[in-house]
Structure 1
Amino acid sequence: MNQNQDVQSQILNHLKTFDGLLVPVLVQLIQQRYPLEVKTLAFEIFSEQFTEQFPIRVFFLDENHSEHFVLVNGEARYPSVIDPNLILIDGVYPQSFETEYLAQGIDIWSVASQVCMQWFIEHWNNVGGANFALHATIAQHDSSEQFDLIEQTRM
C-alpha cells in the first residue's frame, strides 16, 4: 500500500464511524416530500471542515439554482426537518491527522474530499437514492464538476 492509499484508507475509516448517523439522514431526505419549488438537492463538500464538523452540507435549490426557503410564521426556514449540515459532529478526524499529512506535502483536503464523495455516493445508492424523485448532485464546494446522484455520472 503506498502512502496515498494509506491516507485514503485512514480517512475512510474515520468516515465509517459515522455510517450509523448518515444512513437515517439520507433515508429521510430521500423519502421526504418537498415543496414544488425545490427541484434539486445539492450536496457540497467543504474540504476545510473535516476537522471542525461534518464536511457535507445540503442545499435545497429551485429551478434557478437558488436556495429555497419556506416561510413559517414570517421566518425563513429550510424546507426539511433535516439540518442542512446533515450530521452534527465536532469533526471527522483530529487536526493532528490533517497537520501530519500536510507536513508531508499531501493535499489532504483533496484526498479527503474524494474519499468522502465516494463514501457518500455508496450510502446514497445503498438507501435507494437512485429512486429519488428530484435531481440530486454532490460536488466539492465551489467546483464546476459535479456528480449526478440519480444518473450516476459526472457533470
Structure 2
Amino acid sequence: MTNKTKEERSFLAPSRWILILLVMLLFGLGLAIRLYDITDLPLDFHPTRQLFSALKARGMYYQTLPDIPEWQRDMALNQWKTKVTVEPPLLEILAVATYRFTGENLWVARIYSIIFWLAGGVFLFSLAKELTSRDGALAALAFYLFLPYG
C-alpha cells in the first residue's frame, strides 16, 4: 500500500471544485433521465421485471386492504403468489408501505429504485476513485449513470 502524498493530476477535473461540479452534473443528468415520464406505465426498461414487481406489490397491498371486493383481493393474491421470486421483495415491501399513505401509484416504486440507483453511483464513484483516478472515477460514474442497465 502506498500513501498518496501529492495531489494527483487530472485532465477532466484539475481542481476539487471542478470535480464536485462534474459529479453533481453527472448525478443531476442521470436523475433527470430516470425521472422523465416517471408516471408512465413501467414498459420502458425491462418491462417483464417491472410488471412482475408491480403485480407482487399489488398483491401485498391488497392483502392488507379491508374495503376491496373479495374477488379483487383473490385475483391480486393469485397473481402475486404464482410468480417466481428470484430476489428478495425489498422494493415491493417499501412500495406497499408507501401505498398505505399515497394510494396505489406505480411510480412510487420507481422513486425508490432511483434512490437506490443513485446511492450505488456514490459507492461506485468512491471505489473507482480509489482504484483508478479522478478521471477513471468520472468515466465509471458516467458509464453507470447513462446506460440503461446502470
Q: What range describes the TM-score normalised by the shorter chain of this pair? A: under 0.3
In terms of fraction of residues, the more helix-rich structure is: 2
Q: Which TM-score applies when normalising by structure 2?
A: 0.26
Q: Which TM-score applies when normalising by structure 1?
A: 0.26
In terms of fraction of residues, the more strand-rich structure is: 1
Larger Rg: 2
